[in-house]
Amino acid sequence: MTNQQDIMHACPACGLLCDDISGDAIARQQFSCGKAAKFYARVSAGAAPAVGGSTASLAEAVKAAAALLKQASAPLVAGSSTDVHGARALVSLSHATGAAMTHINASSTLRNMKVLQHRGWQTTTLTEVRNRADVILMIGTDVVSHNTRFFERVVWVDEAMFTEPAARKIIYLGGDKLNTKPGVAPDGRAPEVIACASESLPEVVATLRALVMGKPVTAETVAGVAVSSLKSLADTLKTAKYATLVWVSKDLHYAHAELTIENITETVVALNQKSRAMGLSMGGSDGDTSVNYAHTWLNGVIIDAPEWESHDAVVWVNSYSPNAMPPAGTAPVIVLGAPDSTFDTTPAVFIPVATPGLDCHGQQFRVDGSVTLPLTAAKPSDLPTLSQVVALIEAQLKGDLA
Amino acid sequence: MITLLKNAKVIDPAHHKDGVVQDIYIRDGRIIAKPADSEKIGQVHDLNGKIVMAGAIDMHSHIGGGKVNIARMLLPEYQAMRKLDEPEAHICGANCSHHATPNTTDTGMRYIEMGYTAAFEPAILAVNARQAHMEMGDTPMIDKGGYAMLGNDDYLLRLLSQNADQKTINDYVAWTLHATQTIGIKVVNPGGISAFKFNERRQDLDQQHSYYHITPRRILQALSRAVNEIGIAKPLHVHCNNLGVAGNFQTTLDTMGASDGLPMHLTHIQFHSYGTEGDKKFSSAAANIAEAINSNKHITADVGQILFGQTVTASGDNMMQHLNAKVANPKKSVIMDIECDAGCGVVPFKYRDENYVNALQWAIGLEVFLSVDDPWRVFLTTDHPNGAPFTSYPHLIRLLMDKTFRNDAFDKLNLDAQAMSNLKSLDREYSLYEIATMTRSAPAKLIGLQDRGHLGVGAAADITVYTDQADKEAMFAKPDLVFKDGELVVKDGKVVKVVWGATHTAKPSFDLGVEKDIKQYFDRYHTMQMNNFKISNDQIAEDGRNHVINHTQGS
A293: number of Cβ within 10 Å? 26
The whole-angstrom separation of Cα A10 and Cα A83 is 12
| A335: β partners | A316, A350
Contact B195, B163 (CB under 8 A): no
What is d(CA A256, CA A260) in angstroms, rounded to the nearest whole number?
8
What's the rounded Cα separation, in Å, for the pair B71 and A114?
A: 14
**CB spacing of B334 vs A116 below 8 angstroms:** yes
8-state DSSP, B183: S
Say if the Cβ atoms of B76 and A301 lie within 8 Å: yes
pLDDT tens column, A80-130? 999 999 999 999 999 999 999 999 999 999 999 999 999 999 999 999 999
Q: Of B112, B177, B119, nearest to B144 (Cα)?
A: B119
Q: What percent of chain B has pLDDT over 70?
A: 96
Residue B248: domain span:
53-503
More confident residue, A7 or B210: B210
- Number of Cβ within 10 Å of residue B294's Cβ equals 15
CATH of the domain at B211: 3.20.20.140
Phi first, then psi: give them for residue A50, nearest 5 degrees. Answer: -145, 145
What is A257-309 written as a DSSP string? Answer: HHHHHHHHHHHHHHHTTTS-EEEEEE---TTHHHHHHHHHHHHSS--B---GG
- What is the arithmetic mean of pLDDT over A265-292? 98
pLDDT band, very low/low/confident/very high, at A272 (cuts 50, 70, 90): very high
CA atoms within 13 A on the CB side of B440: 31
Name the closest residue on chain B to residue A113, using Cα atoms.
B73
B483 part of a folded domain: yes
The answer as to whether B59 is a domain residue is: yes
Condensed to tens digits (0 to 9), the pLDDT of residues B454-487 reads: 999 999 999 999 999 999 999 999 999 999 999 9
Is the predicted pLDDT of residue A1 greater than 80, yes or no?
Answer: no
Flag whether B38 is in a domain.
no
Task: Confirm whether B447 is domain-assigned.
Answer: yes
Residues of B in contact with A387 (CB under 8 A): 543
Chain A interface includes B433 (CB < 8 A): no
CA-nearest residue of chain B to A274? B199
Q: Is B98 on the interface with A (CB under 8 A)?
A: no
Q: Which residues contact B429 (CB under 8 A, 6 or more apart)?
A: B400, B401, B402, B403
Size of interface A-B (CB pairs under 8 A): 169
ipTM above 0.95, yes or no: yes
Nearest CA-CA distance, residue A219 and chain B, Å: 31
Give the integer Cα–Cα distance in Å for B251 and B16: 36
| Tally of domains in chain B | 1
Are the Cβ atoms of B525 and A127 closer than 8 angstroms? Answer: yes
The 10 Å CB-count burial string (b at 16+, else e) for B441-464 is bbbbbbbbbbbbbbbeeebbbbbb
In this model, does residue A29 exceed pLDDT 80?
yes
Structural domains present in chain A: 48-105+288-360+378-401 (3.40.50), 109-282 (3.40.228.10)
Element containing residue A350 per DSSP (H, E): strand A349-352
B332 contacts chain A (CB < 8 A): yes
Instruction: Choose among B430, B500, B450: nearest CA to B136.
Output: B500
Q: Does residue B84 belong to the interface with chain A, where contact is any CB pair within 8 Å?
A: no
Q: Where are the beta strands (DSSP E) in B13-104?
A: 17-27, 30-32, 41-46, 51-54, 56-58
Stretch A52-68: mean pLDDT:
97
pLDDT of residue B99: 78
Is A297–B543 a contact, with Cβ atoms under 8 angstroms apart? no
Across the interface, do A296 and B99 touch by the CB < 8 Å criterion?
no
The number of residues making up chain B comes to 555
Q: What is the pLDDT of residue B87?
A: 46
* DSSP-derived 3-state class of residue A111: helix
Of all residues in chain A, the one with the smallest CA distance to B138 is A298
d(CA A253, CA A247) in angstroms, rounded, equals 12
Q: Looking at chain B from residue 102 to 121, which residues have their Cβ under 8 Å from any Cβ of chain A?
A: 102-106
Within a domain: B542? no
Mean pLDDT of A217-244: 98
Cβ A77 vs Cβ A291: under 8 Å: no
Nearest neighbour of B104 by CB, restricted to A130, A297, A363? A297
Which phi and psi angles does B334 have, rounded to 5°? -120, 125
- Under 8 Å between Cβ of A154 and B527: yes
B7 in a structural domain? no
Q: Is the Cβ pair A272, B322 closer than 8 Å?
A: yes
pLDDT in tens, A152-179: 999 999 999 999 999 999 999 999 999 9
Q: Do A272 and B339 touch (CB under 8 A)?
A: no
Low-confidence spans in chain B with pLDDT less than 50: 87-95
B313 touching chain A per CB within 8 A: no
Structural domain contains residue B235:
yes
